[in-house]
Structure 1
Amino acid sequence: MGFPGTWMTESESVVYRVVPKCACSSIGQIMFYSDHGRFFDGDIHDSTAGLHKWSQDESQKPIEANVKAHRSYAFTCVRNPYARILSSFFDKIAGIQRNGKRYRGALVPQLIQKYGIDVGSPENGFDFDQVASFRRFLLFARDTIRWRRPMEPDIHWSAMSGHIATFIVNGGRYDHIFFTEKFDEGMQVVLNNIQTRHPVDLKAVPKFNESEGHGPKRAHPVSAYFDDLSRHLVWEIYRKDFQLFKYDFDNPDNKMPVGEIDLDEVHVKLGD
C-alpha cells in the first residue's frame, strides 16, 4: 500500500501526511517555500514538481525509503470533526470548484435525486436551506463510510484517523500532530525541529485556502447544523477522531481541543 497522501520536501527536511480539510494547502506551500524560497504559483495540490508527493511515481521510492528509516521529522495536522465535515459540505457539495464546475461531476445531481439535497446556485446567490441540506448530506456521508454506497467514501469527509493510520500501519511514525485551530503554534514546532534551505516566517505567510470564495458562506453557528440525529451520525463516523485528537463532542460550538494529543496512544490505537 505504501504511503498514500504523503508529501516530502525535495531536500527531505520534513515529511507530512496530508489530511484533507486540515490546512493542507498552507502546509504544502510552507514546505515548498522552505526548499525554494518562493510559494508555488497556484494551488499546491496541482504542483507536479518541487515537492515529493506519493501520487507522483518518481517520488514513491524516496518517500518510502525516508519514512521507513524515519530519516526526517514527520508530522500531520487535525481539525475539529464538526467544523471539518461542515467545511467539506460547503466546499465540495455546495460550492463551485476552481474549474467552474461542481465537484466530481455527477455527484451533486446524484445527491439532489437520492437524498433530496438542495445547494442553490451562483445564479440565486446560493439561496437554500443550509441546515436541512447539510443534515441530508451527513446521512449520505455516513452511508459512504459505513456501507460504501452509493459510492466509496471521499477523502474530504472520511475520518482523519483513517488517513493518519495508513502512515503508521505501513511503517511510519509521527513526531508531531498539531491542531488546525492552533496552526501557527503547531507549525512553528515543526519548523523548530527541521533544517530548511530558506527560513520561514509564519506571520508573513499568506492564507492559502483553495475553497475560499466560490460557494455559499455558512449562515449559522456550528451547533445549528447538528440536531440529536446529526450528532449521533457524527459520533458513528468520527468517534476515534474525537477521542484520539481530544475534541469536544458535547459542544459543537467549541472548536478548540480540550486536551493534548498523546502520540503514543495514537500509534498504538491506529497501528493495528
Structure 2
Amino acid sequence: MGFPGTWMTETESVVYRVVPKCACSTIGQIMYYSDHGDFFDGDIHDAKNGLHKWALDDSQPLISANVQAHKSYAFTCVRNPYTRILSSFFDKICGIQRNGKRYRGNLVPLLIQKYGIEVGGDDGKQDFDQIKSFRRFLLFARDTIRWRRPMDPDIHWSAMSGHVSTYIVNGGTYDKILWTEKFNEGMADVLGAIETPHAVDLDAIPRFNESEGHGPKRAHPVEDYFDDMSMHLVYEIFKRDFDVFKYDFENPGNKMPIGEIDLEEVHKKLGD
C-alpha cells in the first residue's frame, strides 16, 4: 500500500503525513519554503515539483526508502473533530471549489435530494438553516463511514486516526504529532529538530487557508451545531480521534486539547 498522503522535502529534511482539514496547505508551503526560500505560487496541493509527494510516481521510491529506514524527522498534524467536520461541511458541501464548481460534481445534489440538506443556493451565499443542514450532513457522513453508502467516505471527513494509521501500519514512525490549535508551538518543535537550507520565521508565515472563502461563514458558535444526537454521531465516527489525540468530546465549545499526545500510545493503537 505504501505511504499515501505523505509529502517530503526534496532535501529529505522532513517527512509529513497529510491529514485533510488540518493546516495542510500552510504546512506544505512551510516545507516548500524551507527548501527553496520562497513559497509555491498557487495551491500547494497542485504542486508537481519542488516537493516529493506520494501521488507523484517518481517520489514514491524516495519516500518509501526514507520512511522505512526512518531517515528523517516525521510528523503530522491533527485538529479538534468538532471543528474539523464543521469546516468540511462549510468548505466542501456549501462552498464553490477553486475550479468554480461544486465539490465532487453530483455530491451536493445527492445530499439535497436524499438528506434534505440546504447549501445556500447556487453560489453558497444565501441564508439557510445552517444548524439543521449540518446535522443532516452528519447523518450522511456517518452513513458513508459506517456503511460506505451512498458512497465511500471522503478524505475530508473520514477519521484522522485512519489517515495517521496508514503511515504506521506500513512501517513509518512519527516523531511529532502537532495540534492545529497550537500550530506555531508545534511547528516550532518540528523546525527546531531539523536542518533546512532556508530558515523559517513562523511569525512571518502567512496562513495558507485554501478553503477560506469557498463557502458561507459560520453563523453560530461551534457548540450550537451539536445537540445530544449529533454529539453521539460525532463520537461514533471519531471516537479514536478524541481518545488518541486528546480532544474534549464532552464540550464541543472547547476546541483545545485536554491532555498530551502519547506517541507510544498512538503507534500502538493505530499500528494494529
TM-score (structure 2 length as normaliser): 0.99
Offset, 1:123: 5.2
Give unmatched runs, 5+ long, in structure 2. Answer: none
Q: Aligned-pair distance for 1:213?
A: 1.2
In the TM superposition, what whole-angstrom CA distance separates every residue of 1:146-205 from its partner, at most 9, and x where no partner exists? 000000000000000000000000000000001000000000000000000100000110
TM-aligned CA deviation for residue 107 of structure 1: 0.3
Question: Are 1:77 and 1:177, in contact at CA under 8 Å, matched by a contact in 2?
Answer: yes
Write the letter of the residue equivalent to 2:106: A
Greater shift in the superposed pair: 181-190 or 205-214: 205-214
Give the equivalent residue in structure 2 for 1:132: 132
Deviation for aligned residue 1:120:
1.3
The aligned amino acid for 2:46 is D
Could you say which residue in structure 1 is the equivalent of 2:109? Answer: 109
Structure 1 CA distance, aligned partners of 2:81 and 2:123? 31
Kindly report the root-mean-square deviation, in angstroms, between the aligned alpha carbons of the 2 structures: 0.8
Corresponding residue of 2:227: 227
Query: Aligned equivalents of 2:103 and 2:83: distance in 1?
Result: 19
Task: Provide the identity percentage.
Answer: 77
Residues 225 and 98 of structure 1: CA distance in aligned 2, closer, same or farther (over 3 Å)? same
Q: Is the 8 Å Cα contact of residues 17 and 76 (structure 1) preserved in structure 2?
A: yes
Deviations along 1:229-272, one digit per CA (max 9) or x if unpaired, are: 10000000000000000000011000000000000000000000
Secondary structure of the residue aligned to 1:59 is helix
Which residue does 2:182 correspond to in 1?
Answer: 182
TM, length-normalised to structure 1: 0.99
What residue identity is the alignment partner of 2:218? R
1:213 matched to 2:201:
no
Asked whether the 8 Å contact 1:16–1:74 carries over to 2, the reply is: yes
SS at match of 1:258: coil
The residue number in structure 1 matching 2:12 is: 12
Q: Which segment is superposed worse, 70-79 or 124-133? A: 124-133
Q: Aligned residue for 1:161?
A: 161
Task: Identify the residue that residue 269 of structure 1 maps to in structure 2.
Answer: 269
Q: 2: distance between equivalents of 1:121 and 1:232?
A: 29
Report whether the alignment pairs 1:24 with 2:10.
no
Correspondence 1:199 to 2:199: yes
Which residue number in structure 1 is paired with residue 255 of structure 2?
255
1:118 matches 2:118? yes
Match of 1:83 in 2: 83
- Partners in 1 of 2:124 and 2:178 — Cα distance? 39
